Structure 1
Amino acid sequence: MDQPLRAPFDAICEAYALKQSGPARRISERVWHLPTASGDVAVKLYTAGQHTRANKEATVLTHLAAHGDARFRVQTLQRTADGAPAWTGCDAQAMLTRWEAGQFRTYDTFAPAEWRALGASLAALHLSLDRLTLRALDTIRARLITIDADDTRRDLLDAIGHTPRDGDGALLRVFVDVCLRMLDTHYPGSIDAFPAGDPQHPIHNDYNQFNYLFDGTLPPIILDWEAAIGAPREFEVIRCLNHLPLEAPDLAAAFVQAYLQVRPLHADRIAWAVDAACLQHALKRWVVQGWLNDAPRFAVHLHGAMKMASTLLGARGRLIDFFSRCLDAGSP
């Protein structure tokens, strides 16, 4: 364990009345596996400025645990000895959950039964989250209306002029072109056709292969709720499937049909949701900025973003048709 992190882990164990029984093992940039005498825990560290994100994630997990719905599984929140949902130190915060063993897999390895389980799980999560109100919750509508399309275009074009020596300038130019075309295609509809009157209850907002933990039981455990925002449910259904309806329509249909068996979707929101979901791929400034700062490290991210955006480019009509047919098939 890195020396600078010894003190926080000592303080965390004291706050939770835990006795560390082995060395902490880093799982990701901010998540650690910590063995204790009373059972292993996952420690998720936040910076001092992420207090709101930590409390939001803890609140969501507390809410979902209270419902006991077997159609979804999430991490089990651990509270401090004083009953607090998270630990707060001088310059950091931590949230602890019970350690869950399992594996992460890429979407192209999921069997039809697993896609169905994921669809039903998302619908059940949405049903539960319909009853949760989070204070000052960020929403997809608030994010959309703050987008300055002209500013986004300028940033993308400006990036081309700052290509690092060790970066593939041709790849960046193609990616920028794809993003600009997606912006032109999907930005207007995402703004003009926003569903009026939707309460924008919480969604996971990162429901994808990186947050599905498979442990031999279905559905998989859904991790990482700190990115939750308020949004119409149609947005998340389309956003999490991305290009699957184009690549493997039968599997995508299995997901959507399983969702519809638990919770309905609005057919008149599909076109808007396609626009809003696809637009996100044109707004990945973190990918471009990361690549400009460290091209070798972010090359994989840029290639991945390029592949996804290129696949979705020009597919608006096909995506709308696919989801509309799914909803028609799932209607009584």
Structure 2
Amino acid sequence: MTSSSPASLAFPNDYDLRPLGKAVPVTERVSRWSTDQGDVAVKRFTAADSLRGAREAELIAFLGSHRDDAYRVQSLIRTTTGKTSAEHDGQRILVTRWEAGTYRPYDTYSAAEWASLGRCLASLHARLDEVTTPSLDTLSQRVGRIDAEAELFRLEQSGLFISEHVGMDSSSVTRYLTVCRDMFASCYARAVEAFPLDDPERPIHNDFNQFNYLFHAGLPPLIIDWEASIGAPREFEVVRCLNHLPLKNAALARSFLAGYLSLRPLHAERMRWAVDVSCVMHATKHWVLEGWIAGRAGFEERLRGAMEMVSMLARERNGLADFYIQCVGDAS
């Protein structure tokens, strides 16, 4: 996050663009500017996150340099010297064309839209297979950094002060932490032991979900926000993208998988591992609860969604793995 509002900062002078008026804040990182060449989005990263910003710019430029009707990404604007990002006032900056569109909850998508998203992700994975520069981080490194004892202690609800909030009581949060702890304890060892070490861990989006799909008149939607990208097996991203959808609406999940598998295969023997490691990642995703405790806007809705998802995954993860194994096996 930036230390000050992105809209309060000057327009970067590294671009052949002339700003018209003041910026409009969009998120904590992004502002919208009108310029003599149309509206643009300016995204700023602090020095601590500079490498992530540079990596995002490189990936957007790489993906945008290849025409593929199955996916859409932002149009990156290069600096006057041809670089994909700039350093300005101690920050890493990337600039893209402003894109119109709407965000929609995942439970409003039609079967055709889920199928389009499946094809979109498969096409992105195919293109990302060609990236030769190493990712800043990989899933195997993240799993390797997990201190299991420390995580179990952190998920002990007795050590966390949970204040009463309007609309959600502390007992709900306590139950959520208990479910996370039990799920982590059940899945962690298998996530480590079954990790497919022969996988090259090419780049993935790593946040391929409703918050980063920008819908417009046609399909596919625009895929935004590549700052979380890591290297990982593709099976992991497919499972993380769908989360608990196969448990809520198996037909729509099959539409997504059919779209993906129509363009590239998945390894059926990895799908149970992918469910286990996804459960570990959900159990250790602390920022949602921390944001709610801090009273940040929008985090009660996010926490409620996490509670529903984790509860379903904890109860039915074995059936979820069977679902993926069957779908992938039937397509092979």
- Give the corresponding residue for 1:290: 291
Q: How much does 1:177 deviate?
A: 0.6
State the percentage of identical aligned residues: 44
Q: Distance in 2 between matches of 1:16 and 1:217?
A: 31
**Residue of structure 2 equivalent to 1:257:** 258
Q: Does 1:163 align with 2:158?
A: no
Question: 1:107 Cα shift?
Answer: 0.5
Q: Give the deviation of 1:4 after TM superposition.
A: 6.9
- Relative to structure 1, the CA distance from residue 47 to residue 296 in structure 2 (aligned partners, 3 Å threshold; closer, same or farther) is closer
Deviation at 1:52?
0.3
Equivalent AA in structure 1 for residue 318 of structure 2: G
* 2:36 counterpart of 1:37: yes
Closer, same or farther in 2 for the Cα pair 1:325/1:85, shift >3 Å?
same
Who is 1:201 aligned against?
A: 202
Give the TM-score normalised by structure 1: 0.93
Which range moved further: 235-244 or 299-308?
A: 299-308
1:52 matched to 2:51: yes
**Alpha-carbon deviations, 1:188-243, whole Å to 9, x = none?**
11101001310000000000000011111111110010100000000000110000
The structure carrying a bigger helix percent of its residues is 1
- Residues 161 and 113 of structure 1, relative CA distance in 2, 3 Å threshold: closer
Provide Cα deviations, 1:4-42, integer angstroms capped at 9, x if missing partner.
7577433x1x22121112332111221111111111111
Q: Call closer, same or farther: CA 1:219–1:298 in 2, change over 3 Å.
A: closer
Amino acid at match of 1:283: T
Q: 1:245 to 1:79 in 2, by over 3 A?
A: same
1:165 deviates by: 5.2
Deviations 1:37-59 (A, max 9, x none): 11111111111211101110011
Aligned to 1:179: 180
The alpha-carbon distance between structure 1 residues 144 and 125, as it changes in their structure 2 partners (threshold 3 A), is: same
Structure 1 distance, partners of 2:210, 2:187, is: 25
| Secondary structure at 1:9 match in 2 | coil
For 2:220 and 2:297, how far apart are their aligned partners in 1?
36
C-alpha separation in 1, matches of 2:27 and 2:15: 22
1:81 partner letter: T
For residues 164 and 114 of structure 2, what CA distance do their matches in structure 1 show? 42
Contact 2:6–2:30 (Cα < 8 Å) also in 1: no
In the aligned structure 2, how far is the partner of 1:5 from the partner of 1:146? 33
Q: Which runs of 5+ in 2 are unaligned?
A: none
Alignment RMSD (CA, Å): 1.9
Q: Secondary structure at the match of 2:36?
A: coil
- CA drift at 1:91: 2.4
- The reply on whether 1:242 has 2:238 as its aligned counterpart is no
Relative distance call for 1:72 and 1:296 in structure 2 (3 A) is closer
State the shift of 1:164 in Å.
2.7
Q: Which amino acid aligns with 2:275?
A: V
**Equivalent-residue separation in structure 2 for 1:151 and 1:209 (angstroms):** 31
Residue number in structure 1 paired with 2:21: 22
Query: Cα–Cα, structure 1 residues 295 and 112, in superposed 2: closer, same or farther, change >3 Å?
Result: closer
Local SS of the residue matching 1:265: coil
Deviates more, 1:161-170 or 1:249-258: 161-170
- Identify the residue that residue 321 of structure 1 maps to in structure 2: 322
Residue 330 of structure 1 aligns to which amino acid in structure 2?
A
> Are 1:160 and 1:172, in contact at CA under 8 Å, matched by a contact in 2?
no
Partner of 1:45, secondary structure, is strand
How far did residue 68 of structure 1 move? 1.2
Distance in structure 2 (CA, Å) of the matches to 1:7 and 1:84: 24
Q: Which residue pairs with 1:122 in the alignment?
A: 121
